[in-house]
Amino acid sequence: MLPVIEARVDEPSLQIDPGLAARWLEAFLRDEMVERRGIGRAILGLSGGIDSALVAYLCARALGPANVYAIRMPYRSSSPDSLSDAQRVIDALGIQSETIEITDAVDGYLRHAADADPRRKGNVMARMRMLVLFDQSARRNALPVGTGNKTERLMGYFTWHADDTPPVNPIGDLFKTQVWALARHLGVPKEVVDKAPSADLEAGQTDEGDLGITYATADRILNLILLGYHDDAIAARGLDPRDVTLVRRRVDSTHWKRHLPTTALVSGTAINEFYLRPVDF
């Protein structure tokens, strides 16, 4: 009998080399902010979660801690842990910070929207935070930096024209599991890395509870979808067909959230249709 060597069929990997990723993303921030826009200061909303913590670390490494402004924007129902976890990041990095409560502003509007359900309230909070962030950006001549990751962008798990508005985003092409890997490598506080991700819009809320799937599973499925695999081929890799369907539906129903508004084309010079110039031109 001859020995038989069976080929191993690996699933496309989500692993990253975190050292290389950090260098690449820091160079991105320096090039896109300092060299292209001439702005050496970053401002971001620091929620106490891992995404904004990671972005704070990348900005501090790329621009220096003195050039990073972290704005905490709690609502009255926000978890106290969010504030204290954000403080751990501020203290660890030595970045500048300010806390601006959005409760008065949000409640001021909600007095005129008594029928608002939790989802609408959450969107109002997200949009209020972006209003504050952009105003603070103008005040400090600092560029807002985005903190949305690839998983939530693909799942449509964000408020349109709120979380996605900053002009640069270093982690938008990293899946959530890759965000975790990079955050661990950079030394983001353990309390921030290990806690259950949450939009913190309601008490006890978690992302994975909202989405109905774990990030680890969602990322595997998303990666395979993006590589062109059909649902049955994805399920054949040991993934629950119900999970595959859930993720596919979320992606397919939210393409619009990853685009600018749909504009009626009436000419041969329509912007971004016929008149095509790159963003950095």
Partner 1 sequence: MTPLAALVQFKPRKGDVAANLAAMRDVFAQCAAWDERPALVVFPEAALTGYFLEGAVYELAFDAATMARNVDEQWRASGASGPGDVVAGFFENYSGAFHNSAMYLRCGEPGGPRIVHVHRKMFLPTYGVFDEERFLTRGRRLAAFETQFGKAAILICEDAWHAIMPTVAALKGARLLIVPSASPGRGLGAAGELESTTRWKAILSSAASEHGVYVLYAGLTGFEGGKGMSGGTCAFSPRGDLLESAGPLDACIIKIPLDLAEVDLARATLPLLGDLSAVLPDLWLDDEIFPQAAALRTEERS
Site for partner 1 in 35-74 (CB under 8 A): 35-36
Q: How far is the CB of 188 from partner 1 (least distance, A)?
A: 18
Going through the chain in order, the beta strands assigned E by DSSP cover: 42-45, 68-72, 96-99, 143-144
Site string for partner 1, 153-182 (x = CB under 8 A): ---------------x--------------
101 touches partner 1 by CB under 8 A? no
In the bound state with partner 1, the residue whose beta carbon lies nearer, of 27 and 265, is 27
CB of 150 to partner 1, least distance (A): 12
Least distance (Å) between residue 162 CB and partner 1: 20
The reply on whether position 4 binds partner 1 by CB under 8 A is: no
The whole-angstrom separation of Cα 263 and Cα 98 is 38
Can you tell me which of 13, 104, 117, 260 binds partner 1, judged by CB under 8 A? Answer: 13
> Min. distance of Cβ 279 from partner 1 in angstroms?
4
How far apart CA 248 and CA 223 sit, in angstroms, is: 11
Collect all residues with Cβ–Cβ distance below 8 Å to 234 and sequence separation of at least 6. Answer: 221, 224, 225, 244
Q: Does 27 bind partner 1 (CB under 8 A)?
A: yes
Any contact of residue 227 with partner 1 (CB under 8 A)?
A: no
Q: Tokens at residue 195, please?
A: 């806690």
Kindly state the number of chain residues that form the binding site for partner 1, as judged by CB under 8 A: 23
275 binds partner 1 (CB under 8 A): yes
Q: Tokens standing for 253?
A: 């129903």
The interaxial angle of helices 176-186 and 50-63, nearest 10 deg, is: 50
Q: Would you count residue 28 as binding partner 1 (CB under 8 A)?
A: yes
One residue of 228, 261, 268, 278 binding partner 1 per CB under 8 A: 278
Which span sits near partner 1 by CB under 8 A: 15-23, 70-78, 145-153, 240-248? 15-23
- Rg of the chain over Cα atoms, rounded to whole angstroms, equals 20
Torsion angle (degrees, nearest 10) of CA 78, 82, 84, 87: -120
Nearest Cα neighbor of 43 from 126, 128, 140, 182 is: 140
Residue whose CB is less far from partner 1, 195 or 258: 258
- Burial of residue 229, with CB atoms counted within 10 A of its CB: 0-12 exposed, 13-18 middle, 19 or more buried: middle
Count the neighbouring beta carbons within 10 Å of the beta carbon of residue 218: 26
Q: Rule CB under 8 A: which residues touch partner 1?
A: 13, 15-17, 19-21, 23-24, 27-28, 31-32, 35-36, 168, 275-281
